[in-house]
Structure 1
Amino acid sequence: MKIGIVIPAHNEAMTITKCLASVQTAIEQLPSTITATMLVVLDSCRDNTLTLVESMRVKSADVDYLCCGYLCCDYQCVGQVRDLGIRHAIASGATWLACTDADSVVTSDWLIQQIAHINTQPTDMICGVVSVDSWAHLTPQTREDYMAHYQDKMGHRHIHGANLSFSAEAYLAVGGFAPLRCHEDVDLVKRFESKGYAITWSNRVRVITSSRLQARATEGFAAFLANLETNN
């Protein structure tokens, strides 16, 4: 199996290094029979995100290589950005795709847990969960409202582009991510469901995501938190 990990980024200099380091750690947990590569898709970046991606080199006595590849585009549309990266990864031989976001950190067993699900029962897609990295700058009521809403359990029905994985074959069959500025992840999952593909809703596949309120997508996770905060 070859896993392609695709990470969209738009001006993520503050978070990209931790994100890539966490993904690299997850890759290092994989058995030798499975290979995985990272691909960052930089969309309309005006900061030094690219410089930081290029600096992510693995160095040892006999190895010096860029641990992740990257593409640059100017779509300003997360659906197009994800699709560009996914199709590039598939063209490079990836049979399983894993998505996260540049403001998120994956757990060290993120990929191992995905493989465990695949080996336990046939699945075409895994929808994982997210944890919030910090509540310190948010009101206690916002945290309470969020915890009352969020179902951190197997069989949950949450959808996060920051923690979504699927087979290449099924992805191509449903037409891939649509060119949407938000909810591209929800749209993709709905098309998997409509075609009868097997979806695993797992809380064992975990990502820690930023609690920032400055949204990159107008109706994304940051916007959801900001809305909770505003209403409290």
Structure 2
Amino acid sequence: MLTRIAVVVPAHDEEQLLPACLDALREASSRVPLPVDVLVVLDSCRDGTARIAAAAAGVRRIEVRARNVGQARAAGAAAALAGQAGTTWLACTDADSRVCPDWLAEQLRLAEAGAEVVTGVVEVDDWSEWPDATVSAYRDAYRRGVRGEQHGHVHGANLGLTGDAYRRAGGFRPVAVGEDQALVRAAVDAGLRVVGSTRVRVLTSARRDARAGGFAGYLRAL
């Protein structure tokens, strides 16, 4: 039985975008009946990210010196699940993203229906740094992965699963890119019930100087 939610947010030099991320998580947390523990993983930060996280009410923080999003997510998950994996819903987003108000409520709804892993979709808040051809290519490719309310996309900025499912899938791999997809592939291989829902939504940044490189790298490839 789930008794709590833990949200892990890796952050590397995110003083500009972290406040909006935490505001959105605060709103989403207010719409669920379970207590929500938000944990910011400060990864090699040199700006004011740590100060912002420290000033945010109800937000925990840990520091790592990995400069690696897979290691940062794994460290956050370990801290968030310590001694409580069996009763925790673990949700993941990114510091440059803003979850929708019903983000956690939709994940819990799917969990109550039997989902052990939930993957959501992302929408880009500003395409101004990219040429129109890249935007069109991205949207066309993204639509091909959507079937009604179901989809086949995986984003570390929009992912949730039970603590037990996280352990059975082997946790986040210590890789700089693709740790989210590796986790979901392992969950499928382990026979866990993975549900992709377009109702679980996150607004994310499409900046060219992305801190982790995954999304920006994909856009550059397009």
Matches within 5 A, 1:143-182: 143-151=135-143, 152=146, 153-182=148-177
SS of 1:37 mapped into structure 2: strand
* Corresponding residue of 1:24: 26
Cα distance change of structure 1 residues 22 and 92 upon mapping to structure 2, 3 Å threshold: farther
Look up the match of 2:221. Answer: 227
Amino acid at match of 2:122: V
Q: What is the deviation of 1:91?
A: 1.1
Counterpart in 2 of 1:71?
A: 62
Contact 1:217 1:223 in 2 (8 A): no
Match of 1:122 in 2: 114
Q: Which residue of 2 aligns with 1:134?
A: 126
Read off the aligned partner of 1:222 and give its amino acid letter. Answer: A
Q: For residues 32-72 of structure 1, what are the alpha-carbon distances to aligned partners after superposition, in whole Å with 9 as ceiling and x for unaligned?
A: xx111100000000111001111213xxxxxxxxx210000
Deviation at 1:184, TM superposition (A): 0.5
**CA apart distance, 1:92:** 5.8
For the 8 Å contact 2:98–2:204, the answer to whether it is kept is yes
Give how far 1:215 is off: 2.6
Q: 1:141 to 1:186 in 2, by over 3 A?
A: same
Q: Which 5+ residue runs of structure 1 have no aligned equivalent? A: 58-66
What displacement does 1:129 show? 0.3
Distance 1:101 1:222 in 2: 14
Superposed, which structure 2 residues align to 1:105-116 within 5 Å? Answer: 105-116=98-109
In structure 1, the residue matched to 2:186 is 191
Indicate if the aligned counterparts of 2:168 and 2:187 stay in contact, CA closer than 8 A. no
1:214 touches 1:223 (CA, 8 Å); kept in 2?
Answer: no
The alignment's TM-score, normalised by the length of structure 2, stands at 0.93
RMSD: 1.3
Match of 1:223, as an amino acid?
G
Contact 2:5 2:88 survives alignment (8 Å) = yes
SS of equivalent residue, structure 1 residue 7:
strand
The corresponding residue for 2:16 is: 14
Highest CA radius of gyration, 1 or 2?
Answer: 1
In the alignment, is residue 209 of structure 1 matched against residue 201 of structure 2?
Answer: no
Could you tell me how far apart the structure 1 residues matched to 2:152 and 2:81 are? 27
The residue that corresponds to 2:72 in the other structure is 81
CA contact (8 A) 1:6 1:86 kept: yes
